A and B are shown apart, each in its own frame.
Chain A
Amino acid sequence: MKNRLKVLRAERDWTQARLASELEVSRQTVNAIETGKYDPSLPLAFRIARLFGQAIEQIFVDNKETSS
């Protein structure tokens, strides 16, 4: 699954540590999500969407949707 987390974070000039703190997760988790190594759970995806004021599907995009 692709996501725009890194772009959204950069727009706010936040560090990974800052975003991790806002989401109450580790910096490792933020990095793993940004690099696509880890897909967050639905509750965490909702927290991310709420934090950036966007819908989940505006942040996370299924690979199958982008390829079709």
Chain B
Amino acid sequence: MERLLDMSENTPVTIRERCEPSRTRSRELRLAAVTLLWAVTFVGATRLLKSELLPAGIVPWLVALAPSVAAGFVLAAYVRFLREADELQRLIQLQGLAAGFGGGFFVLCGYSLFEQLGASPAGIELVAVMPFLYVIGVLVGERKYR
């Protein structure tokens, strides 16, 4: 492997070593970008469908389908992210997913009891608790192994 000389520390540094942080960062940025794309598509599609600006026919169906297509890109990027991650990063992601899925499931189940007592019915907004708890779980993991 080609080697460079890092003049600041006077120790040999490989090209791979120099590239590794930027590759990790680019994976994270790619995942963040497609997630943002999905969020924009979802919010846009929701507003368009509520606005009744769309002509009748196939167009509203295509608009409703758009977030699902974007979600496919998010899932593909996340699978690639996991595949290229090392074992500690995967562990942190697993903890995040456990917090998001497990916590979200129990929150939704728990809220159903409050609905029986007269609380407003759970909307799609309540599902947002899952990614919220996922992010919290990942941040806790990142802090734990920092």
Residues of chain A having any CB pair with chain B under 8 Å: 13-15, 17-18, 20-21, 24-29, 31-32, 37-38, 40-41, 44
Q: Is the interface of B mostly helix, strand, loop or mixed?
A: helix
How many inter-chain residue pairs (CB < 8 Å) link A and B? 52
A18 B145 Cβ-Cβ under 8 A: no
Interface residues on B, range: 10 to 19
Q: A18 and B86: CB pair below 8 A?
A: no
User: How far apart sit A20 and B16, CA to CA, in the bound complex (Å)?
Assistant: 10
B89 to A29, Cβ gap below 8 A? yes
> Contact at B11–A28, with CB atoms within 8 Å?
no
Is A32 touching B145 in the complex (CB atoms < 8 A)? yes
**Chain A proximity mask over B1-34: 1 for CB below 8 Å, otherwise 0:** 0000000010111101100110010000000000
